[in-house]
Amino acid sequence: MSPVSRRLMLAGAGLGAAALGASLAWRKLNPPQVSAVAQAFWTRRFAGVDGTELDVARWRGQPLLVNFWATWCPPCVKELPEINQFYNEAKGKGWQVLGLAVDQMDPVKAFLQKTPLDFAIALAGPEGLGLVRELGNAAGGLPFSLIFNESGDISWRRLGVSRLEELRELAKS
C-alpha cells in the first residue's frame, strides 16, 4: 500500500470516527421527543398495594410493559400468569412490567394472595379507564397493555389478552 493510500484510508477512518462521535453527542444532548400522552404518563404516581406511592418515572429509559387489568375481568386474570412469566424471562434484559389495577385495594390484595405476581402492581382505580382512553384505547376495555420504549414513547398497544409468545417477539425487536 502506498503512503498516499494509507493516509487517505486513515483520514477516512478519522472522519468516520468523528462523525460517529458527533452523532452520539448530538443524541445525548438532544434526546428524542416523546408524545404528549407518553410525557404525561411519565409524570404519574399510583398507589402501590403495599401502601407506598409508586412513581413511574423510575422506569423511564428502560423498556416498560404496562398492563391495565382488574380482578373482575376474566381475560385479565387469565393473562397475568403469562405476563408474569414474560417478566421473569425478560427482566435480565432490562425489561420492566407494571400492572395497573382498575380496581379497589381489597380485591387486588385478595387476588395477589391467591396469585402472587413478581412484577410491580399499583392501583389506577376507577380513573384508570380514563387513563387507558388517553393512552390510545378509545373503547376503554380491559385488559389493555402497552409498551414504552427506552426513549419513553409508546411503541406498542394491545386491547385484549396479550400472549406470551407475542411478548417474547416484541422483547427481541
Task: For residue range 80-104, list pLDDT tens digits in order.
Answer: 999 999 999 999 999 999 999 999 9
pLDDT at 143: 98
CA distance 99 to 29: 32
pLDDT at 1: 72
DSSP for 114-170, please give it. HS--SSEEEE--TTHHHHHHHTT-TT--SSEEEEE-TTSSEEEEEESPPPHHHHHHH
Q: Beta 96-101 vs 120-123: how paired, if at all? A: parallel
Q: Are the C-beta atoms of residues 98 and 56 closer than 8 Å to each other?
A: yes
CB atoms within 10 A of CB 105: 13
Helix (H, G, I), strand (E, B) or coil at 67: strand
pLDDT at 17 over 90: no
Residue type at position 64: L
CA distance 49 to 156: 26
Q: What is the pLDDT of residues 106-160, one digit of tens each?
A: 999 999 999 999 999 999 998 999 999 999 999 999 999 999 999 999 999 999 9
Residues 6+ apart with CB under 8 A from 97: 64, 65, 66, 67, 83, 84, 86, 87, 91, 119, 120
Residue type at position 75: P
pLDDT at 93: 95
CA distance 154 to 141: 18
pLDDT band at 16 (very low <50, low <70, confident <90, very high): low
pLDDT at 7 over 60: yes
pLDDT at 154: 97
Average pLDDT rounded to a whole number, residues 65-75: 98
Cell of 91: 427482566
Tell whether pTM > 0.75. yes
Q: What is the pLDDT of residues 24-62, one digit of tens each?
A: 555 455 555 779 999 999 999 999 999 999 999 999 999
CA distance 54 to 94: 19
